[in-house]
């Protein structure tokens, strides 16, 4: 079984594509919504949060863990964990960027992801040097709270007011594809995110299934109706 972990609902968008790309695999999605948003947490807090949730996935027999959280992937060195195979989305996301090297790239992410600078280092290593990194501290929370399209639009309009001449956008948080169309209204350019990435999983389930381990509420079911088009069951 493959675990998919995030601070909240953003990981569901990654999971939706994974289940289509790997139909024979079993996925267990478990978010830590009580500690969200991760982007405003201290490093020590993030380490503790990750270790606690890693134990959860190991107890359920997961052979692989996809950390669908850019904040954790920018903060934690996963190479120190050897008893479960951990998949990191940042480098894979950067490797999908395919625009002119002179392009002005707008990186949108949490404050912690921006602070750590991993996206920028990897982009510069690939020859992209014209990068504007913009933190959107409230966007993940607005998505978690099922904010209206109007509320999200007003927030984005405020945050984007000084950004001009963008050639490409990277969504450096797995929540942000939930509002990709609204972002595209401001920047009608190529947008790169952490969805539709390719992985090499150890798990060999042979019988696909998607399990969601999170409490149901009306807002969640509405979110699932809008963003998931795969069969799933609550665990």
- Residues 41 and 49: beta-carbon distance below 8 Å: yes
Could you list the beta-strand ranges (E) of 63-208: 64-67, 85-88, 105-109, 131-135, 168-171, 190-192
The active-site residue out of 105, 173, 179, 191 is 173
Contacts of 118 (CB under 8 A, 6+ apart): 73, 74, 90
Instruction: Tell me if residue 62 is catalytic.
Output: no
Instruction: Tell me if residue 69 is catalytic.
Output: yes
Read off the DSSP letter of residue 120: H
The active-site residue out of 15, 28, 69, 140 is 69
Contacts of 25 (CB under 8 A, 6+ apart): 1, 2, 18, 19, 201, 203, 205, 208
Cα–Cα distance measured from residue 59 to residue 55, given in angstroms and rounded to the nearest whole number: 6
Active site residues: 69, 173
């Amino acid at each position: 079984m493959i675990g998919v972990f995030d601070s909240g609902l953003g990981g569901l968008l990654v999971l939706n594509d994974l289940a289509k790309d790997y139909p024979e695999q079993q996925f267990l999605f478990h978010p830590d919504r009580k500690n969200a948003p991760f982007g405003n947490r201290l490093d020590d807090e993030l380490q503790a949060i990750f270790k606690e949730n890693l134990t959860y996935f190991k107890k359920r027999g997961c052979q692989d863990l996809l950390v669908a959280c850019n904040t954790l992937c920018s903060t934690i060195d996963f190479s120190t964990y050897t008893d479960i195979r951990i998949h990191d989305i940042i480098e894979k996301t950067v490797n999908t960027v395919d625009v002119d090297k002179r392009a002005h790239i707008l990186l949108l992410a949490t404050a912690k992801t921006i602070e750590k600078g991993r996206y920028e280092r990897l982009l510069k290593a690939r020859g992209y040097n014209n990068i504007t990194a913009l933190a959107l501290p409230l966007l993940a929370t607005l998505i978690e709270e099922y904010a209206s399209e109007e509320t999200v639009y007003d927030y984005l309009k405020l945050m984007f007011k000084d950004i001009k001449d963008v050639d490409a956008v990277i969504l450096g948080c797995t929540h942000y594809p939930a509002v990709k169309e609204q972002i595209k209204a401001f920047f009608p350019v190529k947008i790169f995110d952490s969805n539709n990435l390719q992985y090499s999983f150890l798990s060999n389930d042979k019988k696909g299934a998607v399990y969601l381990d999170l409490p149901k509420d009306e807002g969640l079911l509405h979110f699932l109706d809008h963003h998931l088009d795969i069969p799933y069951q609550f665990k």
